[in-house]
């Protein structure tokens, strides 16, 4: 079956440091890839997406590139802020035989990011 593996956390950084959170996946089909973010006490929010190989998703200074050859979708940000402290989830949405995903996602275990001033 499908699976997503994220780097283990927690990750602690100082403000303005560079961030990388690794994510690799296995899928039976050709998935779409997502990063979701969860702020304390809230539900998950879509951060960025990529739907085909070599696509780069970006939002709020975060970027991730869909690498089919290495089955990876690593999240990066050049300069983190205290407000980026949250839990980050990598996820994939695979298509079934009928060509739809029905909104089902497979999630990684999540990476807790803490940014200090």
Partner 1 sequence: NAGVTQTPKFQVLKTGQSMTLQCAQDMNHEYMSWYRQDPGMGLRLIHYSVGAGITDQGEVPNGYNVSRSTTEDFPLRLLSAAPSQTSVYFCASSRRGARRYSPLHFGNGTRLTVT
Rounded to a whole number of angstroms, the minimum distance from the CB of residue 61 to partner 1 is 19
Binding of partner 1 at residue 82 (CB under 8 A)? Answer: no
The token pair at 92 is 């994939």
User: What is the C-alpha to C-alpha distance for residues 57 and 49, in angstroms, rounded to an integer?
Assistant: 5
Binding of partner 1 at residue 101 (CB under 8 A)? Answer: yes
SS3 of 64-111: the string is: EECECCCCECCEEECCCCHHHCEEEEEEEECCCCCCCCCCCCEECCCE
Tell me the window of 20-28, 48-56, 59-67, 78-86 that interacts with partner 1 (CB under 8 A): 48-56
Binding of partner 1 at residue 28 (CB under 8 A)? Answer: no
Binding of partner 1 at residue 99 (CB under 8 A)? Answer: yes
Rounded to a whole number of angstroms, the minimum distance from the CB of residue 45 to partner 1 is 7
Beta bridge partners of 90: 35
Binding of partner 1 at residue 34 (CB under 8 A)? Answer: yes
Identified binder of partner 1 from the candidate list 51, 59, 79, 83, rule CB under 8 A: 51
Instruction: Determine phi and psi for 82, rounding to 5 degrees.
Output: -55, -35
Identified binder of partner 1 from the candidate list 19, 25, 27, 32, rule CB under 8 A: 32
Counts of helices then strands in the chain (DSSP H, E): 0, 12
Residues that bind partner 1 (CB under 8 A): 4, 32, 34, 36, 41-46, 49, 51-52, 89, 93, 95, 99-110
């Amino acid at each position: 079956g499908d699976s997503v593996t994220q780097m283990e956390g927690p990750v602690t950084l100082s403000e303005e440091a560079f961030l990388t959170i690794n994510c690799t996946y296995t899928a039976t089909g050709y998935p779409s890839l997502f990063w979701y973010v969860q702020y304390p006490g809230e539900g998950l929010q879509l951060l960025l997406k990529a739907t085909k190989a070599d696509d780069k998703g970006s939002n709020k200074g975060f970027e991730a590139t869909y690498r089919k050859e290495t089955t990876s979708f690593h999240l990066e940000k050049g300069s983190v802020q205290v407000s980026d402290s949250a839990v980050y989830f990598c996820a994939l949405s695979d298509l079934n035989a009928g060509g739809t995903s029905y909104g089902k996602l497979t999630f990684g275990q999540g990476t807790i990011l803490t940014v200090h001033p």
